[in-house]
Every structure is written in C-alpha cells, then in structure tokens.
Amino acid sequence: MGLGKYKYYFRKPRSAIVKDVLYWLLMTGAVYLAASSPYFARNLWREYERWKKYPKKRVSDTFYNLKKQGLIEIKKQGSQIYINLTEEGKKKASFLQINDLRINQPKRWDRKWRLVIFDIAQLKKVYREAFRGKLKELRFSQLQKSVWIHPYDCVSEIDILKEFFGLTDDELRLIVAEEIGDDMKIREIFKI
C-alpha cells in the first residue's frame, strides 16, 4: 500500500518551514535572486536545494506570510530580488534559535569543564532569570550562586545566548578548565 492518502501525516509542519526560512535568512544575511521571470517560488526553488523538500506553493505561501507579518522584506531592484529579515524578523529568528539550542554530547568526554560565570545587574533581573532558566534547560549544574558548569563544548551556544540577551564580557564569561578540585559529585550528576 502506498503512502498517498497518508502523505498529509508525514509532512513537516508549517512552523518547520518558517524556522527553515528564518534560520536561512539569519545565517545568510540577505539573499539575492535573479528576477528573470515573475515566478518567485520557481526561482527560489531552482536556486536553493533545501526548499525541494517542500511543495512549491507552501514555500511561496510561507514567504508571502512572513512578508505580510513584517518579518522579511522582499524588494525588486532591476534584475534582482532582495530578501532579508526585518528587525522584527531577526528577533523572531533569534528567539527560535535559542529555543532550539542543544548541547551535543560527544562519545568521549574531553575531560574539560565549561564554567559559565555571570554577574547580570539588578536592572536586568528578568534577563538574569531567563538566562539562568536557559542554563538549566541546557543541563548546566549550579556550582555556586552565579557559577554554572557543564562537561561538554558549548562555546557557540553560550555565544548565542550572550548575543540574544545583550550581555557584555563583563556580565558573562565562559571558562574552560581542566581542574576544578574535587569533582566527584559533579561527575555523578553528568554520569561521566
């Protein structure tokens, strides 16, 4: 029996298309397409392999809806179409990005500890609480009041959080250490 009538159940949800588009534009900055024909979706489809997993109409509808919501700008200038995120689109893409953050666990631990030390001003209390919550989500363990620890590489994840929350080097530091003293309790927490 073919999957024909069940195809609907195996489709990626619309939100996945939105995430793909916003991540793509966040990573590339702006996109330029040849405007050689009025068929925007067809040009986009030809230019970028990643869209071939979606029906053309859904790709086109997603771009249209994102433009309508004010998350992307689509401008035609001469023989080029320019697509880029608006400020609101950048915020949404950043939010989706931190929402999906995960720290990969390698097969072998490199025997280094990642210490996140932060001192976020009382004026930014909401940011401090949200940042602390995100560290818990990422499975950091609290070593001291504003010192959190993790055994796996998380430089890019901490950089993303730092940028998202608008934190400075004075407010947030990531330290990689080989020795932290007696680490037996922490090793038990992380099962290493």
Say how many C-beta atoms besides its own lie within 10 A of residue 47's C-beta. Answer: 12
Distances (CA, A) of 7 to 1, 19, 114, 152: 12, 21, 44, 39
How far apart, in whole angstroms, are the C-alpha atoms of residue 26 and residue 43? 20
Residue 38's domain spans which residues? 9-97
What is the residue-averaged pLDDT of the chain?
80
- Which of 56, 77, 97 terminates a domain? The answer is 97
Tell me how many domains the chain contains. 2
Same domain? For 18 and 91 the reply is yes
Same domain? For 53 and 108 the reply is no
Same domain? For 137 and 65 the reply is no
- Comparing CA positions, the residue from 80, 75, 98, 94 lying closest to residue 26 is 94
DSSP state of 182: -
pTM here is 0.62
pLDDT in tens, 56-77: 778 778 888 888 999 888 887 7
Same domain? For 93 and 107 the reply is no
